[in-house]
Amino acid sequence: MAAMGDNVDMIKLKNNEQIVKMRDSGRITAEALLAAGEAVREGVSTLELDAIVRRYIEKQGATPSFLGYGGFPGSACISVNEEVIHGIPSDKKILREGDIVKIDVGAYYKGFHGDSARTFAVGKIGKEAEKLIKVTKECFYKGMEMALPGKRIGDIGAAIGSHAAENGFSVVKTFVGHGVGHELHEEPEVPNYGVPGRGARLCEGMTIAIEPMVNAGGFTVRVLDNKWTVVTTDGKLSAHYENTVAITANGPSILTQA
């Protein structure tokens, strides 16, 4: 789940024991996301995918991080095509051949959250959609390469934004990545754009959600009347790729792994 304008007093560093616990919540998050992704096909509703996520998370003794968060009614954010993030699951939203669907999942387990998202193809999709999904994943890894002690938040954003632009795409600026831990949204904010060498300094023990939101067209977005779902202003496709990452002395480590 993307953050916007969260105010937390300070960056909360995690020790090794806490990071181990976050790997547990991250694993549950990743497995729930994988289960939902495996069910993506034509004719399935986004509400059915949401039910898969909730059942899996609760079966593991965890709680869906998003359910009830700020009043959000679903266990996962499920966004289709021009919907960027925060799509509300619905039995009326039926997947069709050629769609791309973004599933964003969070799980709260033993005091910590995991947060992860992927973009899935529904059957055969167009070449632009294929490229968009591929480049968005690449943007995540370009950003993660910069998640090193001594680097800065701007290094992550610059790497993501420049890779998207080099491929003819744009990154969303209104919503950003964020710290993750005891709270779903912690400091620092992690934009998908920035200036190298600027922003908060990264250090060992930080745990952040790096989450490129990449648009096929312009970067501007708007929020629908339901107060949640974010769509591209120009109606063009958007893709999303997210993992919770720990910054360690040995480099970045993905915590949301199945």
For position 3, what pLDDT does the model report?
73
The verdict on residue 127 lying in a domain is yes
The verdict on residue 62 lying in a domain is yes
CATH for 29? 3.90.230.10
For position 87, what pLDDT does the model report?
98
For position 7, what pLDDT does the model report?
44
Q: How many domains does the chain have?
A: 1
Q: Is the pLDDT of residue 5 over 80?
A: no
Q: Provide the domain limits for residue 158.
A: 16-254
d(CA 217, CA 203) in angstroms, rounded, equals 34
Strand order in the sheet with 83-85: 83-85, 230-232, 221-223
Confidence of residue 6 (pLDDT cuts 50, 70, 90): very low
d(CA 92, CA 142) in angstroms, rounded, equals 37
d(CA 43, CA 75) in angstroms, rounded, equals 20
Q: Would you give the DSSP letter of residue 49? A: H
Dihedral (CA of 40, 44, 48, 52) sign: negative
Q: Is the pLDDT of residue 222 over 90?
A: yes
pTM of the model: 0.96
d(CA 67, CA 118) in angstroms, rounded, equals 19
pLDDT tens digits, 140-189: 999 999 999 999 999 999 999 999 999 999 999 999 999 999 999 999 99
